[in-house]
Amino acid sequence: MGCKEVALEADASVVKQSPAPAPVLVPKPAGPTEDVEMVDGTQTSPDGASKPTRELLYRCFTCRRLAHYCHLPIPDIFDSDDPASIDDIQLASFYQFETGWRCADCFSYEYTVDKILAWRPYPVDAVEPHYSPTNLPDAKSMLPREYLVKWSERSYRRTQWVPHMWLASTSLMKLKNFIATGPKVKLLDSLPEEKATEVDSQIQPITFETSVSQTPEVEPGRASYLGPLPDAECYIPPAWKTTDRVLDVLLWKINLPGRGKKKGKQSSVLADSEEVTLPDELQGLVVKSHLKGEQPSDDHVENVNDFLRTIGKPQLEITHIKFVAWAFIKWDDLGYDEGEYILACQLRNSIGVSATWDAPPRPDEPGYAAFEAAFQRFIDSANVVVRKSDKDIKKLDSRVRDGYGKHALRRTAQPQLGQDNQLQLMPFQVCPEAL
């Protein structure tokens, strides 16, 4: 954190030694006129200036990392173009009182951890002792590493590296399981071809006292030491970040031509030749939503019906894809048990759906073509009509009311259908009226 330099040297006098008998100290009485010697708390630098021997440092209450106050990240609330104008006192006040002694990283984490995918040394030149399946690292120790996590209710596009002590403070059991058995999801064994060259040119050799493979096969029920994977984001299957279905969208509130120039009620019907544009004040929010994956405020987005009412159109068109601010996306190659969106059903159970809300990819991103195709299917789904012939309608109207009622199970006792005694029906299956 900060300059990543050593902010506090270890005390060399504190070493593990065999306990020695405590010496007997005989206090020396001080005379009434004897002065107490005071230690000077400053030292003189080569340029002649005095500075304290030990500088006050900031320590995060959650991840336990140290930082110089002058190297703490400047928060966005200061909104200053000149970082030098922000003094240490302002930074100290913000990080002590506004964040509750949490660093910028820990203060920014708003979601709970879903999965731990990999780990890497932090800082990059950190050195750990050799570990083995019989000598695993202690999750509660201050290990010099960080972990790539997938957040709950967030897609694999929004994975993030988090410090070890933050993870140990908030998700200790998941961290212990990861150290003992490795990740619960299997990443790619090798990099995709389009990323292999780019990553090879960026990765620097890391000094690390271990020779374990980066992607070991974990034997179920047996502890295994997993080595570091510094570029783990590149090993996430691209399909997990590719749109499969668009289930719902929120669109930016747009400016109509002529709005604000005429007094009185404005007409929301547009001519075919008129162009719909985004307000200038939304351009920054668009970039923030795409880069950070933050949901826009309700003041700046609206649902499909309100958007169509604003522009006076009967249905969405593919050209409206540029106004999609937030989309409920089902991701490709993920089972329906991977999602975090919960639907309550009539029997008070829950159903998991593999979909998360996220900002749509930009036109220059690899997954844009898949999102565009899924958005077109979303538009087409609004026009699906089940046509019924006159014959079907007459057959439906002439049906016998409650014709299958005689087959309903209306007794609380188990029916004798020849089934095994262990295969009994649930109470709501025997007598629906009991619900």
**pLDDT beyond 80 at 396:** no
* Per-residue CA distances from 68 to 1, 81, 410, 428 (Å): 9, 21, 74, 64
**pLDDT beyond 60 at 316:** yes
**pLDDT beyond 80 at 299:** yes
φ, ψ at 183 (rounded to 5°)? -70, 155
Give per-residue burial for 57-73: e unless 16+ CB within 10 Å, then b. ebebebbebebbbeebe
Q: Residues 6 or more apart from 235 whose CB is under 8 A from it?
A: 118, 187, 188, 191, 215, 229
**pLDDT beyond 80 at 359:** yes
CB contact at 8 A, 353 and 337: no
Number of H helices and E strands in the chain, helices first, is 10, 13
Q: Which of 191, 98, 190, 105 is nearest to 149 (CA)?
A: 105
Residue 134: its pLDDT value, please? 83
pLDDT in tens, 317-356: 999 999 999 999 999 887 545 544 433 333 333 333 468 9
**Mean pLDDT score, 67-73:** 87
pLDDT band at 290 (very low <50, low <70, confident <90, very high): confident
**pLDDT beyond 80 at 421:** no
pLDDT band at 358 (very low <50, low <70, confident <90, very high): very high
Label residue 404 exposed, middle or buried (CB < 10 Å: 0-12, 13-18, 19+).
exposed
Q: Which of 171, 169, 118, 124 is nearest to 142 (CA)?
A: 169
**pLDDT beyond 50 at 419:** yes
Q: Three-state DSSP class for 368?
A: helix
* Per-residue CA distances from 350 to 113, 152, 256, 345, 354 (Å): 21, 17, 42, 6, 13
Q: Where are the domains of the chain?
A: 53-107, 113-236, 242-381, 394-434
CB contact at 8 A, 166 and 109: yes
Give residue 14's Cα distance to chain centre: 40
Q: Three-state DSSP class for 95?
A: helix
**pLDDT beyond 80 at 11:** no
**Mean pLDDT score, 284-290:** 83
**pLDDT beyond 60 at 263:** no
Is the bond into 123 cis (omega within 30 degrees of 0)?
Answer: yes
Residue 222: its pLDDT value, please? 36
Q: Residues 6 or more apart from 249 whose CB is under 8 A from it?
A: 304, 324, 325, 326, 327, 328, 375, 378
Residue 9: its pLDDT value, please? 75
Give the neighbor-by-neighbor strand order of the sheet with 243-252: 301-302, 243-252, 324-331, 355-358
Q: What mean pLDDT value characterizes the chain?
A: 76
pLDDT band at 294 (very low <50, low <70, confident <90, very high): confident
**pLDDT beyond 60 at 27:** no
Across 101-115, 137-151, 261-275, least confident range: 261-275
Residue 64: its pLDDT value, please? 87
Q: CA 340 to CA 417: how far, in whole Å?
A: 39
**Mean pLDDT score, 348-376:** 80
